[in-house]
Amino acid sequence: MAETEGGGARIDGTEVAKRVRGEVRRRVAGVADRVRPGLATVLVGDDAASAVYVRNKRKACAEVGIESIHTELPATTAQATLLAKVDELNARDDVHGILVQLPLPEGLDEKEVIDRLSPEKDVDGLTPVSQGRLLAGTAGLRPCTPLGVMRLIDETGVDPTGKRAVVVGRSLLVGKPVGLLLLERHATVTYCHSRTADLEAEVASADILVAAIGRPKAIPGSWIKPGAVVIDVGINRTDDGLVGDVDYESARLRAAHITPVPGGVGPMTIAMLLSNTVEAALASVRG
Ligand code: GUN
């Protein structure tokens, strides 16, 4: 992982994700006499990007020995039909995780569909019940990208306990849950967002910085505290290709550890989805 040509160590998310997938594969093999983990994917409509994402998830399942149960529905699917499909998957014993690929086509009520998922099968960690469990600190499935962020921080060997962690972004999918996971690990957490009065000062105070705002290179390297751990969740398409929320080239001169974009947080999301599916399967046989 440690590559230091004149800057901080690059955290290689591709390599860590590969390692996590290897761990999952060994766990799947280890529990084979008790349960065969199964992940149901539901793809509604014909969005090309969504189709690619779902294909990648199914391929990743196959590689680690997770059964992939796939449903494709037309964009014209009625809300009631989709809800009935979720009910059916909720009831199936061979399905331990359910992933309804988002966004859903126009006309479908995403929130109602997500709310219908059994929290025990909510491997995306998106249901209000999963979010409540995270807030309460009780057992439950946590969202995949935030789990990936935590795993990358752990890979650096930096213990969040007592550290100043600054999360830039407050989305339900990433920012909010990452802050809660850092709090659970005893960091002193600050949330920043578009109304934050002095973002530079907040960022400059961060021992651990998580950037999840979706604005290309919004955080210049000169703001980074020397020695910080920088996790960049941003994936922004620009004329220069994919870039993160942090200006990587200048930030890596100050950070001790930093994730690149691409090849940082991105590959972790599917790896943690596989891990969540095995957790859900094991919880189902534990009863
Ligand atoms: N669409 C883009 N990312 C995700 C994800 O993590 N989960 C689901 N269900 N849909 C997505």
Closest CA to 231 of 208, 249, 200, 247: 208
Torsion on CA atoms 74, 79, 82, 86, rounded to nearest 10: 160
User: Does residue 274 sit within a domain?
Assistant: no
What is the total count of domains within the chain?
Answer: 2
Residues 131-151, mean pLDDT to the nearest whole number: 98
Residues 251 and 148 in one domain: yes
User: Does residue 204 sit within a domain?
Assistant: yes
- Give 112-123 pLDDT, tens digit per residue: 999 999 999 999
The helix or strand, by DSSP H or E, that contains position 96, with its residue range, turns out to be none
User: Does residue 150 sit within a domain?
Assistant: yes
Q: Whose CA is nearest to atom 6 of ligand 1?
A: 124
Distance CA 196, CA 213 (A): 13
The predicted model scores a pTM of 0.96
Residues 110 and 157 in one domain: no
Ligand 1 neighbourhood includes 124 CB (under 6 angstroms): yes
Query: Which structural domain range is residue 75 located in?
Result: 33-118
For 67-87, letters b (16+ CB in 10 Å) and e give bbbebebeeebeeeebbebbe
CA 126 – ligand 1 centroid, Å: 10
CA 111 – ligand 1 centroid, Å: 13
Residues 148 and 259 in one domain: yes
Average pLDDT, rounded, for the chain: 97
Domain boundary among 101, 118, 135: 118
User: Does residue 241 sit within a domain?
Assistant: yes
User: Does residue 132 sit within a domain?
Assistant: no
- Give 156-206 pLDDT, tens digit per residue: 999 999 999 999 999 999 999 999 999 999 999 999 999 999 999 999 999
CA 163 – ligand 1 centroid, Å: 30
Which of 39, 58, 99 has most ligand 1 atoms within 8 Å of CB, for mutation?
Answer: 99
Is the model's pLDDT at 7 over the cut of 90? Answer: no
Residues 152 and 251 in one domain: yes
Ligand 1 neighbourhood includes 122 CB (under 6 angstroms): no
pLDDT value, residue 120: 98
Residues 111 and 166 in one domain: no
Kindly report the CATH number assigned to the domain that includes residue 210: 3.40.50.720
pLDDT value, residue 93: 98
State whether residue 237 is helix, strand or coil: strand
Give catalytic residues, as residue numbers.
57, 101, 124
